[in-house]
Amino acid sequence: MQSLITFTLTILTILLSFSASAQLLDDEAPDFSRKDTLRGALRPERTCYDVRHYDLNVKVDPGHQFLKGHNTITYYTNSTFDTIQVDLFKNMNVDKITHHGEELAYNREYNAVFIAFPDEQPADRLDSLTFHYSGKPKVAENPPWDGGLVWDQA
C-alpha cells in the first residue's frame, strides 16, 4: 500500500511539473496591434487627466435606431498636456468637441479620439470639455452577455 501511495505521488508530481512549466515552453509572445494598444494601454494621453463627472445628454430615436447627444466631461488635470484620448466606438460620429466655447481639433484612430488643445493645459486644475456625437450604436446580439443596445420594446 505504501508503494502505491509513493508511486501515485511521484506520477502526480511529474504531471504537475509539466503543466506548471507549459507556459515557459512557448517562446512566442502574443501579437498586440496598434488597435489593442490604444484600447487598453495607460498611455500619457489617458493618464494626464482624471474624469470627475460625465454629464450625458442623449436623444434616442428608436425608429431609426439612432442616438444623438453630447457629454460634458469634467476632469482634473494630473499633469500638463496638449492632447488627450477619449474612446468612442467608430460607428459613432464625433460631431464636434468644444472647450470654453471654442471648437477643438481632433483625429480618430480606430475607437480612439485624440483631442488637441491649442495651448498646453496646466496641471492641478479642474476643467471640462463637451463632446458632441451621433450615430447608430451596436445592436446587442446576445444581451445581456455582449455589448450594445436592445431596441425591442419591453
CATH of the domain at 87: 2.60.40.1730
Q: Is 37 left (phi over 0), alpha (psi -120 to 50) or beta?
A: alpha
Q: Does the residue 43 lie in any domain?
A: yes
Q: Does the residue 122 lie in any domain?
A: yes
Please tell me the predicted confidence (pLDDT) of residue 131.
95
Q: Does the residue 54 lie in any domain?
A: yes
Of the candidates 82, 85, 83, the residue with the CA atom closest to the CA atom of residue 120: 82
Q: Does the residue 94 lie in any domain?
A: yes
Q: Does the residue 101 lie in any domain?
A: yes
Of 68-72, 77-81, 96-100, 150-154, the range with the lowest mean pLDDT is 150-154
Number of domains in the chain: 1
Q: Does the residue 12 lie in any domain?
A: no
pLDDT at 135 over 90: yes
Terminal CA-CA length for the chain: 65
pLDDT at 89 over 90: no
Q: Which three cell numbers stand for residue 72?
A: 460634458
Please tell me the predicted confidence (pLDDT) of residue 82.
96
Q: Does the residue 150 lie in any domain?
A: no
Domain span at residue 85 reads 35-135
pLDDT digits (tens, 9 = 90+) for 32-74: 766 666 666 778 889 899 999 999 999 999 999 999 999 999 9
Q: Does the residue 146 lie in any domain?
A: no
